Amino acid sequence: MTQLNKHQLIADLARVNQRIDVASEQYQQFNKPRLLAVSKKHPAAKIKIIYEQGHTEFGESYVQEALAKVKALSDLNIIWHFIGPIQSNKTRAIAENFSWVQSVDRMKILTRLNNQRPESLPRLNVLLQLKVGDENTKSGASQNEILSMLEAAKNMKGLQVRGLMCIPPPSSDFDEQCDYFLEVWNFYQQLKTANSEIDTLSMGMSGDLEAAIKSGSTMVRVGTDIFGPRV
């Protein structure tokens, strides 16, 4: 990687952190959201550069690709989040190699992750993915399904449900973005009131992180605006 790319990457990371700072201040979110750097489709060398800036949390969406990077970067203290669609035959690899899974949207996957989490590791941190918007989005669970999974998870020793993740339908309209996020925030508050271990609301990406912060996000997931376009 050229020197120029490295400077670009560091500058882009700084710009994203600044957007988070500005939005947090503007919307008076005194608990600034954490930044998850979404590194899918980008090489391990770029992750290492971001890591050297003091950033430790990275998100991946494709199991095979992620495992190669987890292995290549195993000497670094990275906290890996799995954020992609989950097939049942991939749950073991996810349970064994990640600290967080943000895209759990059905009971079968939740149960398998719990059973397959090695006892030698701390509990797997789980976010349940809430379906948002009434278009035919492929992934995400209904509020009722989430309540059932949360109840079942109380008896699961291999994992801990920490909150919600959502991917609303793409919109370039700020108010519409906020409408989706506020719907999620309301449900999150309801869960948080009844469950003391719920503390994470993962929402906001490159195109809508300001609206997410205005709406109470505790974690934004940014790929493109840090790493550039995915090829």
Ligand X SMILES: *Cc1c(COP(=O)(O)O)cnc(C)c1O
Gap between the Cα atoms of 193 and 219, Å rounded: 19
Q: Does 221 bind ligand X (CB under 6 A)?
A: yes
| Binds ligand X (CB under 6 A): choice among 167, 203, 212, 219 | 167
User: Does 223 interact with ligand X (rule: CB under 6 A)?
Assistant: yes
109 binds ligand X (CB under 6 A): no
Smallest separation (angstroms) from ligand X to the CB of 199: 19
Q: Is 129 exposed, middle or buried (0-12, 13-18, 19+ CB in 10 A)?
A: buried
Determine, following the binding rule CB under 6 A, whether residue 224 of this chain makes contact with ligand X.
yes
- Bridge-partner residues for 128, per DSSP? 104, 164
Nearest 5°: phi and psi at 14? -60, -40
Q: Counting contacts by CB under 6 A, is residue 55 touching ligand X?
A: no
Q: Hey, which residues does 113 pair with through a beta bridge?
A: none
At residue 35, what are phi and psi to the nearest 5 degrees? -105, 120
Read off φ and ψ for residue 81, nearest 5 degrees.
Answer: -115, 130
Residue window 59-78: x/- pattern of binding to ligand X, with contact defined by CB under 6 A: --x-----------------
Is residue 42 within the footprint of ligand X (CB under 6 A)?
Answer: no
For residues 117 and 95, the answer to whether their CB atoms sit within 8 Å is yes
Other Cβ atoms closer than 10 A to 93: 16
- Of 1-9, 68-76, 179-187, 199-207, the window that binds ligand X (rule: CB under 6 A) is 199-207
> Which of 12, 93, 206, 228 is close enough to bind ligand X by CB under 6 A?
206
Out of 20, 23, 38, 73, name the contact with ligand X by CB under 6 A. Answer: 38
Least distance to ligand X, CB of residue 231, Å: 12
Q: Binding residues for ligand X, per CB under 6 A?
A: 38, 40, 61, 83, 167, 205-207, 221-225
